[in-house]
Amino acid sequence: MSTPYYRAVGDEVSIFELAHARRLPLMVKGPTGCGKSRFVEAMAAKLGRPLVTVACHEETNATDLLGRYLIEGGNTVWRDGPVTRAVREGAILYLDEIAEAREDVVVVLHPLADHRRELYLDRQDELVSAGPEFMLVVSFNPGYRKGLRELKPSTRQRFLGLTFDYPEAAVEIEVVAHESGLDPKAAKRLVTFGRKVRALEELGLAETVSTRLLIGAASLIVAGLPPRRACVVGVVEPLTDDPELIEALTDLAALAF
């Protein structure tokens, strides 16, 4: 499998390699769509390990992750969940948006995230130990719905931490152009537009323009949609439903293109 494209922005590649070599779990923090998942995908490929990704949400419970007994052809058989599979395979296990998961999930992960590096399957009465290649990576978005979902200090302090953010303009232009195939000049305009919207904190948007949204809009332009329309469909509408805001941001897009 070829390594996914990832444009490094700091020392995150060497930190990840260090964490893997030292068998330490890693927490990647940052807003949505800024490259966290792509980074983890690229690192798994670079280290030659399989990647198991779990998108956590409020319904995710320990059984979903660890495994369960199923009835198959009249027999009861145990089926590993993704976390158990990842531990057995020595994979990179990526729990996306860990703070969304229920408390029982987090408790199950504790022995995996400290020096024990093991998982206890109580339904099986089995202790699964992680091999040296296994690594636990979690992501969370600190600004998102502030105060509602937080990681407890006893959980956080098991992880190394790396902060991600939308990259500086030149890098973001490079990423948008690479991912969409848009020419760098137009990518520059689009990124400039995106950064202007980000700077308008007074708009009170719940989430701002992500690199992912800019890549989406860029792909629309490449497909032949007029750039202003691509900005509205690809960036403005996904961000807000407020008619006045839509109008103001549409004007901003018209200035950019």
Q: Which residues bind ligand ADP (CB under 6 A)?
A: 5-7, 9, 30, 32-38, 167, 175, 179, 211-212, 215
What's the longest Cα–Cα distance across the chain? 66
Smallest distance from ligand ADP to CB 171, Å: 7
CB of 176 to ligand ADP, least distance (A): 8
Task: State the amino acid at position 206 in one-letter form.
Answer: A
**Quick one: CA dihedral 11, 12, 18, 21, positive or negative?**
negative
**For ligand ADP, which is the closer residue by CB, 25 or 30?**
30
CB closer to ligand ADP, 13 vs 252: 13
**Alpha-helical segments (H) within the chain:** 12-22, 36-47, 62-66, 82-89, 103-113, 153-156, 169-180, 184-199, 211-222, 227-231, 237-239, 243-256
Identify the DSSP state of 27: E
State the nearest-atom distance from the C-beta of 71 to ligand ADP, in Å: 37
CB of 248 to ligand ADP, least distance (A): 25
- The closest residue (CB) to ligand ADP is 35
Return the closest-CA partner of residue 194 out of 219, 220, 168, 225: 168
Min separation Cβ 254 and ligand ADP, Å: 25
The helix/strand/coil state of 74 is coil
Of 94 and 134, the one with the shorter C-beta distance to ligand ADP is: 94
Q: Is the CB of residue 9 less than 8 Å from the CB of residue 42? A: no
62/187 with CB nearer ligand ADP: 187
Q: 80 or 97: whose CB is closer to ligand ADP?
A: 97
> Contact, 150 vs 103, CB < 8 A?
no
CB of residue 175 to ligand ADP, shortest distance in Å: 5
Rounded Cα distance, 43 and 17, in Å: 8
User: Which residue, 100 or 179, has its beta carbon nearer to ligand ADP?
Assistant: 179
The smaller minimum CB distance to ligand ADP, of residues 119 and 209, is found at 209
CB of residue 23 to ligand ADP, shortest distance in Å:
23
Copy the structure tokens of residue 8.
């490094």
Looking at residue 134, its amino acid is F
Sign of the four-CA dihedral 116, 117, 123, 125: negative
